[in-house]
Amino acid sequence: MSWTAAIGLEVHVQLRTASKMFCGCPTSFGAPPNTQVCPVCLGLPGAMPVMNLEAIRLTVMTGLLLGCRIATRSRFDRKNYFYPDMPKNYQISQYDQPLCLGGALDIGPAGARRSIRLRRIHLEEDVAKSLHYGNSSGIDFNRAGTPLMEIVTEPDLRTPEEAHEFLTELQRVLEYGRISECNLEEGNIRCDVNVSVRRGEDGALGTKTELKNLNTFRGVHRALAAEIRRQIAVLESGGRIVQETRRWNDAAGVTEPMRTKEEEHDYRYFPEPDLMPIELSAEQIEVWRAELPELPAARRVRFVAQYSLPEYDAGVLTADRGVADFFEATVRICGRPKSVSNWVMTEVLRFLSERGATIGHLPLTPAALAELITAVEEGRVSALAGKEVLADLLERGGSPEDVIRAKGLAQVSDDAAIAEWAAQAIAQHPGPAAEYRAGKAAALQFLIGQVMKLSRGRANPKLAAAELRKRLDAG
Amino acid sequence: MSSPAQWTLTETRDRLASREVSSREVVESVLSAIERRNRELNAYVSVNAEAALEEARAADERRARGEFSPLLGVPIGVKDNIAVRGEPCTCASRILQGYRSPYDSTVAARLRAAGAILLGRLNLDEFAMGSSTETSVYGPVRNPWSAEHVAGGSSGGSAAAVAADLAIAALGSDTGGSIRQPASFCGCVGFKPTYGRVSRYGLVAYASSLDQIGPLTKSVRDAALLLDVIAGRDPRDSTTLDVPGLAAEAALMRVGAADLRGLRIGVPAEYFVAGLDPEVERLTRAALRRATELGAQAVEIRLPHTRYAVAAYYLIATAEASANLARYDGVRYGLRVAADGILDMYGRTRAAGFGLEVKRRIILGTHALSAGYYDQYYLRAQKVRTLIRADFAAAFERCDVIAGPVAPTPAFRLGEHLDDPLKMYLSDVYTVPVNLAGICALSVPVGRTAAGLPVGLQLIGPAMGEPTLLRAALGFERERERPS
């Protein structure tokens, strides 16, 4: 029997709140060290925490997006351990009464979707950040107290690829729900994993190890692959897996022992006496439920049904909530969903990926794109010229009509001008002209292309084709 | 005329308002009293005389301009575990030597807003852990009535300063009796408000679910006035209660406020048991008899779970303390003992920085929360807490206030209990149930022992029962006696 892995994830997500979890300090990234601090997040003697209700709302929204049961009563607990990055030497977290229980997230290709069960989602505070120099260390408390949501899965994932896909899909959901900035470079999403292997698919899970220090999704994938290989090698050589926490050494590409089960902290959780329990009414939860955005998977299905788009288009367009919103806003103005989809998927997305930009920051508006597409569809500007106009709009914004006028790109349907370009094309390319006359119809496309080139894209392609055909057939 | 330092808070306020005296004169009088007697009593651990005189001058100017705020120009002493911006906040611990609070506690901010001058920091048991102010790094506070006796604790500095006229009034904190017991030992009024009545923001936490700030004063009216200033909902402390303001002093001014007629006083059998000092019992019973003669009705009540209160208290309080005191690690502020690694630095700093009693409680609390012991200790203690709360709820069906001793004995001798922590803990038997139940209580002086040591009567009220409690206390209050 072959080996199967069972992988569980603990994903820490920094929430998109203006202020910290238990004080009013800002959460913005990149400020000079220790400038976003106060007595509360520094853990000064006598300071007390106050709950950030927006963090609670965002956690409940996440729970609703992932199909969790929302606890009408939950509470915070103190998790005790000494750590220089933790100002109070306890972390305010949630132990046995988390905000969200259960839930699931689907992964896998259409037709073979698999549900990955969640165990819980809870809320806690982030720690500070140590900076090490030569023989001294400094601590930046700007991050201390940032709201941190922890999503814990059941060990339902089977491969490093699945873990990677789960994280990518989760990131998409969090972006869709406007839950987190999801900026991986800034550490908005961090992940611990646990993994075990066993023979075959059934039976009891093997002994698991926990892996720390996984900073990227790719790191998760590589660490899991290495750890699964290590565990199989140990077991196949007759050894036993020790339950322990291991550190991923990214440079060496191996996992290394960090601490064994016996050395694990006893966190001595107990209810946080400085905070009241969180009580959520059913009405409040329903109000939040009504604010939920449509998730990518559901939107994909709707795009196919509502706009008659191919599966592929729907998938590309809904991958990013901003792009999907932009697409729908454009279609609301000009209709023609398939045309809009083509323009967005090719020109707009290429521009975004070249610039590493997001659609929300573009000067191009859905109204401008709708106007341009309408102009192309109605033959007022050629598709080729349309691309040139769009390039301009993507850079500078403005109205398509102005750009068309300024660049003289309005489609030319004037017979005399087209006749002249057609004559020129035939004269310059006698070869293809002869081929056409000899019965090779495809040669006409080449000549149409030449007319478009001569006219800088302005010639009406239908009229150009007719004119070329007329001239070539005539003699 | 007596010197201003001897005046009560309401008296001082009224004489300042009528410009019979200036704030400068009041502050100078208090400073000179401190100068005369603090060396002996050890009540204050630091006094900011210059700043106090400067604030007094400013207060006098404000008053000359016609400004009025309830405590304008009145000096108040503050226990050294309540943060005042710019002042030391050492909790009488070596580990916080050199630390100054960069922010005001809510009570300090409210006192300032009311015009008060926060002139000095008052001694206490280290981190408020003790019943005698003997665990202070600054040494013990002496009882103003007898230098060989303790002032009680942990707010021993506050009680001694008020009783010996080294302060017009003071703030203390009460986790298991730390306001009431020293008030009883020193002969002043000590009030522990309902949990959530006064903000804890800026009170250095010992046991967060039990701690409460309250006044130590020369009269019941003074306690009401100070409570009016410091009480109220605070957005910085989520455990504060959203209830209307007290106006407690105004209520005491009404005609007949001190009338005890019709008051049902619950007398718990469990508070008069073996171990109760005969003189304390005699004075307590005499006060109750006097009250019934004045028209109050004594009702026998039962508080059956009292015998488990001390055990439950010392599990819950130490469990919370073990977390609350974890932050003193040498990393960010206070004492740091250099060492090679971080763990070694933690160990050496805490070994050198904390005293014996604090270490004992941290270890006890850490153990009570440990894997495998949590259910047996912490969880069971929480169940006892629920039962104690239920005891009081049932009792208050039958009475308006409960009366009994504050402590089993009058002030004991310095060092008498120091080597016997259990005996020290057991002396909290009558005060800790109130903190476990989150209700309010006070100590009001009712007499002195043959040796001349004061004895207070404890009056206990239901949650939010401050107005009734203060009215009852006014009825019991006798003319103030001063130590010579």
ipTM value > 0.85 = yes
In a domain, B130, yes or no: yes
In a domain, B174, yes or no: yes
Q: CA–CA distance from B343 to each of A64, B220, B249, B474 (Å)? A: 42, 50, 52, 54
pLDDT at B60: 97
Higher-pLDDT residue of B250 and B187 is B187
**B345-371 mean pLDDT:** 97
pLDDT in tens, B322-346: 999 999 999 999 999 999 989 999 9
CB A37 within 8 Å of CB A141: yes
User: Token pair for residue A470?
Assistant: 């007329």
Give yes or no for residue B1 having a pLDDT over 60: no
Please state whether beta strands A147-153 and A3-14 pair in parallel, antiparallel, or not at all (unpaired).
Answer: antiparallel
User: Token pair for residue B471?
Assistant: 């009215």
- Tally of domains within chain B: 1
Give yes or no for residue B288 having a pLDDT over 70: yes
pLDDT in tens, A175-221: 989 999 988 888 899 999 999 999 988 788 999 999 987 888 999 99
**B423 a catalytic residue:** no
Give yes or no for residue B182 having a pLDDT over 80: yes
pLDDT tier, B25 (very low <50, low <70, confident <90, very high otherwise): very high
pLDDT tier, A104 (very low <50, low <70, confident <90, very high otherwise): very high
Task: Tell me which of B23, B29, B79, B427 is the catalytic residue.
Answer: B79
DSSP state of B374: T
Give yes or no for residue A380 having a pLDDT over 90: no
Give yes or no for residue A115 having a pLDDT over 70: yes
| Structural domains of chain A, ranges and CATH numbers in brackets | 8-198+263-287 (no CATH), 294-407 (no CATH), 415-474 (1.10.10.410)
Higher-pLDDT residue of B218 and B256 is B218
CB B157 within 8 Å of CB B204: no
pLDDT at A281: 96
* Residue A365 CB-half CA count within 13 A: 8
What is the domain-level CATH number for residue B12? 3.90.1300.10
H or E, element range at A210: strand A209-214
> Which residues in chain A touch residue B331, judged by CB atoms under 8 angstroms apart?
84, 139
**A457-473 mean pLDDT:** 85
In a domain, B380, yes or no: no
**B195-209 mean pLDDT:** 98
Helix, strand counts (H, E) of chain A: 16, 17
In a domain, B306, yes or no: no
> Which residues in chain B touch residue A78, judged by CB atoms under 8 angstroms apart?
323
Cβ contacts of A366 within 8 Å, gap of 6 or more: A326, A329, A330, A332, A333
CA pair distance A122, A59, nearest whole angstrom: 7
- The shortest C-alpha distance from A80 to chain B (Å) reads 7
Q: Which of B209, B236, B342 sits opposite A273 (nearest CB)?
A: B209
Give yes or no for residue B217 having a pLDDT over 80: yes
Residues in chain B: 484
CA pair distance A127, A400, nearest whole angstrom: 50
User: What φ, ψ does residue B22 adopt, rounded to 5°?
Assistant: -100, 160
pLDDT in tens, A63-99: 999 999 999 999 999 999 999 999 999 999 999 999 9
In a domain, B128, yes or no: yes
CA-nearest of B454, B452, B453, B472 to B462 is B472
Strand boundaries in A261-377, DSSP class E: 270-271, 278-279
Average pLDDT, chain B: 96
Q: B322 CB near a chain A CB, below 8 Å?
A: yes
Task: Tell me which of B93, B136, B146, B178 is the catalytic residue.
Answer: B178
CA pair distance B361, A473, nearest whole angstrom: 105
Q: Is the bond leading into B370 cis (omega within 30 degrees of zero)?
A: no
In a domain, B33, yes or no: yes
pLDDT at B118: 97
In a domain, B28, yes or no: yes
CA pair distance B265, A357, nearest whole angstrom: 75
Percent of chain B past pLDDT 70, that is, above it, reads: 100
pLDDT at A475: 61
**B383 a catalytic residue:** no
CA-nearest of B5, B331, B171 to A84 is B331
In a domain, B146, yes or no: yes
pLDDT in tens, B101-118: 999 999 999 999 999 999
Range of the domain at B26: 4-262
Give yes or no for residue B166 having a pLDDT over 90: yes
CB within 8 Å: A42 and B209: no
**B359 a catalytic residue:** no
> Which residues in chain B touch residue A44, judged by CB atoms under 8 angstroms apart?
101-103, 333
- The shortest C-alpha distance from B83 to chain A (Å) reads 7
CB A220 within 8 Å of CB A250: no
CA pair distance B167, B161, nearest whole angstrom: 5
pLDDT at A474: 78
Q: Is the bond leading into B322 cis (omega within 30 degrees of zero)?
A: no
Give yes or no for residue B250 having a pLDDT over 80: yes
CA pair distance A331, B373, nearest whole angstrom: 64
Q: Please, what is the end-to-end C-alpha distance for chain A in angstroms? A: 76
Q: B379 CB near a chain A CB, below 8 Å?
A: no
CA pair distance A421, A459, nearest whole angstrom: 9
CB within 8 Å: A44 and B209: no
Residue A436's beta-bridge partner residues?
none
Residues in chain A: 475
DSSP state of A410: S
pLDDT at A200: 85
CA-nearest of A101, A118, A182 to A155 is A118
